[in-house]
């Protein structure tokens, strides 16, 4: 089946779409996007789709709800154009953190979103969803792509004196997996609360970081509060270089400035969200493409 | 079954929800709405819904995509709370004008939206959707409420010397139906283009408007361009009072100012969209409630 890669609304999706199309040697289709004066979104796909596999690349960036509706409108238009297969690549899935009812009366937002997408797409590829179990709500085949080893390869860390740390025990698998590629130690941070001051401190469970280069690995970085605390303790314990490596760099309120000035040497992120200065992005398009090749056909 | 009316996100939906709840003597539930720092919507329903019929009132006002996603999140939360029945009242349905493929490659946007809603709601009530046939995309029972006679009753027009005009022949049914209530003449505007200047002029097909009060009736008023032209010709032909009556007053760029200063005496609209000065709103909540009573149970 012939593939055609359809670029989503935003710059992020555009860049990844181009990269995927290149890697697959597939045609790329750039839909027409506009907003009507009353605020409604308009899309049109001016490409030959009939009988092809349409691969829509749409990262659900801010404004997320608009990105979601556009994903659905693209799905509707592709169906109308009689695509043979409809695949969604959504490098960043919004609403993934509302993955259960924390307080009675809440929705499971990620369920709602994936439930909608399944009406229009036969398979879903995403980069590191917050909880992999959430993908069950899509109800069709889906692939959660973990980009860390691919990213590490592209970054080319000096492996001689390095170690990997995850911010908590829950995310230890990420650290473990990356460490096995780097052939190095790994550990996680334990948090404790001072009984008198109430202050939360954190430190590596067992790892001696002195003189080592440390990679703090996480799926998403939002306010950066935890990473900030982690980097301070690493610095005080004599770590040499401190790197942060995440899939999704949201970095609210220029959190990256605070992180860099607190002594973090480099922040590495996949290119799933809008770009920030001071963050080093790794284009995960080719890696998504190789996953598409592996799972499709 | 006990009804509970759930107020949507925006002021418009809130007002209509209250009005419906009053008319039905039903409980009203005000969900908690907030926006996370990254822009995602959060909702929570802090009410007892178990075993009840949940009637969600959500007008799809700007930003429409956010309104749509919140409608879905509400549907998910209500399901989670084990409502016995889930009804959607959406006084203004966004995307209703993209109801067919005008240019190849376009989606049928209203199909996408209604297709999503059917996952969460068993029945849909709306006020005057652009094309009634579009409701088929909901695929479940749906009611298109025409509010004009109800509105006319509330307005209390002087019936002695009045006539109704629709902007074009396609919408003649609206004028006919209102005129039968007012027991008066009705007609529609014909448009013609001057072969030399290219200017479009419009005038009533046959009706002599001289000395008469005229109601121009339409489903939606957006830029107000057509209504403006219509009112100018009516004025020049000696109409006495000119009224405009619509379901949905979008009125982009303060179009209402232009209309009033062009000589329109009053603009009447249902309260399905955010309020503008100089527009007289008729609360259609009680009329929606009587439709709910008629069709439910």
Q: What is the ipTM of this complex?
A: 0.94
Instruction: Identify the helix (H) or strand (E) that includes residue A247.
Output: strand A242-249
Instruction: Give the burial string for A218-230 (b: 16+ CB within 10 Å, else e).
Output: bbbbbebebbebb
Q: A119, A145, A171 — which closes off a domain? A: A145
* A248 in a structural domain: yes
* Same domain? B35 vs B83: yes
Return residues 69-108 of A near B (CB < 8 Å). Answer: 69, 72-77, 80-81, 94-95, 98, 101, 103-108
Nearest-by-Cβ selection for B250 from A38, A109, A252:
A38
* A272 in a structural domain: yes
* B292 in a structural domain: no
pLDDT at A77: 98
Give the pLDDT mean for B44-55.
98
* B199 in a structural domain: yes
Instruction: Identify the helix (H) or strand (E) that includes residue B145.
Output: strand B142-145
CA-nearest of A239, A242, A192 to A211 is: A239
pLDDT at A241: 97
Give the pLDDT mean for B146-171.
96
pLDDT at A194: 83
* Same domain? B92 vs B121: yes
pLDDT at A199: 85
The span from the CA of B28 to the CA of B44, in Å, is 14
**CATH number of B101's domain:** 3.40.50.2020
Q: In this model, does residue B297 exceed pLDDT 80?
A: no
Q: Which residue has the tokens 């809440």?
A: A106
- Count of A-B CB contacts under 8 Å: 136
Task: Answer for the pair A137, A108: CB distance below 8 angstroms, yes or no.
Answer: yes
Q: B125, B145, B165 — which closes off a domain? A: B145
* Same domain? B132 vs B237: no
Return residues 249-288 of A near B (CB < 8 Å). Answer: 250, 252-253
Task: Answer for the pair B272, B247: CB distance below 8 angstroms, yes or no.
Answer: yes
**What is the nearest CA distance from A66 to chain B, expressed in angstroms?**
5
In this structure, the strands spanning B32-35 and B41-44 are: antiparallel
Pure H helices in A5-123: 11-24, 64-80, 109-117
Give the pLDDT mean for B50-63.
98
* Same domain? B125 vs B21: yes
The span from the CA of B157 to the CA of B240, in Å, is 14
- Find the domain containing A35 and state its range: 3-145
Q: Select which of A118, A131, A154, A191 is catalytic.
A: A191
Task: Answer for the pair A29, A74: CB distance below 8 angstroms, yes or no.
Answer: no
* Same domain? B66 vs B169: no
Pure H helices in chain A: 11-24, 64-80, 109-117, 148-155, 172-182, 225-236, 255-261, 285-295
Contacts of B223 in chain A (CB under 8 A): 37
Return residues 15-44 of B near A (CB < 8 Å). Answer: 31-32, 37-44
DSSP letter, residue A137? G
Q: Do A38 and B103 touch (CB under 8 A)?
A: no
Instruction: Identify the helix (H) or strand (E) that includes residue B233.
Output: helix B225-236
CA-nearest of B6, B58, B50, B54 to B32 is: B6
* B165 in a structural domain: yes
Supply A155's token pair: 């970054």
Q: A88, A112, A145 — which closes off a domain? A: A145
* Same domain? B125 vs B33: yes
* Same domain? B13 vs B125: yes
Task: Answer for the pair B87, B121: CB distance below 8 angstroms, yes or no.
Answer: yes
Say how many Å lie between the first and final Cα of chain B, rounded: 8
Residue from B6, B38, B83, B251 to probe the interface with A (highest A Cβ count within 10 Å)? B38
The span from the CA of A73 to the CA of B255, in Å, is 29
Give the pLDDT mean for B77-90.
98
* Same domain? A44 vs A112: yes
Q: Which residue has the tokens 């409701």?
A: B135
**pLDDT class of B198 with cuts at 50, 70, 90:** confident
* B296 in a structural domain: no
CA-nearest of A38, A122, A22, A145 to B67 is: A38
The span from the CA of B40 to the CA of B253, in Å, is 28
pLDDT at A74: 98
In 10 A of CB A32, how many CB atoms?
12
The span from the CA of B75 to the CA of B86, in Å, is 7
**pLDDT class of B78 with cuts at 50, 70, 90:** very high
Give the active site residues of B. Answer: 191
A100: left (phi over 0), alpha (psi -120 to 50) or beta: beta
The number of domains in chain B is 2
Give the pLDDT mean for B140-164.
97
- Touching check for A137 and chain B: CB below 8 Å? no
pLDDT at B30: 98
* Same domain? A54 vs A179: no
pLDDT at A200: 83
Q: Do A69 and B68 touch (CB under 8 A)?
A: yes
Q: What is the pLDDT of residues B253-285, one digit of tens each?
A: 999 999 999 899 999 999 999 999 999 999 999
Regions of chain A with pLDDT less than 50: none
* Same domain? B104 vs B207: no
CA-nearest of A245, A13, A3, A291 to A144 is: A291
pLDDT at A198: 84
* Same domain? A156 vs A111: no
* B290 in a structural domain: no
Cα–Cα distances (Å) from B210 to A20, B162, B188, B239, in that order, read: 67, 11, 15, 5
Q: What is the pLDDT of residues A40-96, one digit of tens each?
A: 999 999 999 999 999 999 999 999 999 999 999 999 999 999 999 999 999 999 999
Q: Do B62 and A38 touch (CB under 8 A)?
A: yes
* Same domain? B182 vs B268: yes
* A297 in a structural domain: no
Cα–Cα distances (Å) from A88 to A53, A194, B162, in that order, read: 11, 47, 57
The span from the CA of B258 to the CA of B264, in Å, is 9
Q: Which residue of A has its CA nearest to B75?
A: A107
């Amino acid at each position: 089946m012939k593939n055609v890669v359809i670029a989503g609304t935003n710059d992020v999706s555009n860049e990844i779409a181009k990269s995927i199309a290149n890697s697959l040697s597939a045609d790329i289709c750039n839909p027409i996007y506009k907003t009507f004066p009353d605020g409604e979104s308009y899309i049109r796909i001016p490409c030959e789709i009939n009988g092809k596999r349409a691969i829509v690349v749409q990262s659900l960036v801010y404004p997320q709800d608009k990105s979601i509706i556009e994903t659905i409108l693209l799905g509707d238009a592709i169906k109308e154009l009689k695509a043979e297969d409809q695949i969604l690549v959504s490098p960043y899935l919004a609403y993934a953190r509302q993955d259960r009812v924390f307080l009675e009366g809440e929705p499971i937002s990620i369920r709602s979103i994936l439930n909608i997408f399944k009406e229009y797409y036969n398979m879903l590829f995403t980069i590191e969803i917050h909880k992999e179990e959430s993908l069950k709500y899509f109800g069709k085949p889906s692939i959660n792509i973990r980009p860390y080893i691919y990213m590490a390869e592209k970054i080319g860390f000096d492996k001689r004196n390095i170690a990997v740390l995850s911010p908590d025990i829950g995310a230890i698998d990420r650290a473990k997996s990356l460490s096995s590629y780097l052939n190095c130690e790994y550990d996680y941070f334990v948090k404790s609360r001072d009984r008198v001051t109430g202050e939360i401190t954190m430190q590596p469970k067992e790892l001696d970081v002195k003189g080592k280069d440390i990679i703090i690995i996480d799926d998403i970085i939002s306010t950066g509060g935890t990473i900030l605390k982690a980097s301070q303790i690493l610095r005080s314990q004599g770590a040499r270089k401190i790197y942060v490596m995440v899939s999704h760099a949201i970095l609210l309120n220029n959190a990256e400035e605070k992180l860099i000035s607190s002594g973090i040497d480099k922040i590495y992120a996949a290119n799933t969200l809008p770009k920030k200065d001071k963050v080093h992005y790794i284009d995960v398009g080719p890696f998504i493409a190789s996953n598409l090749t592996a799972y499709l056909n």
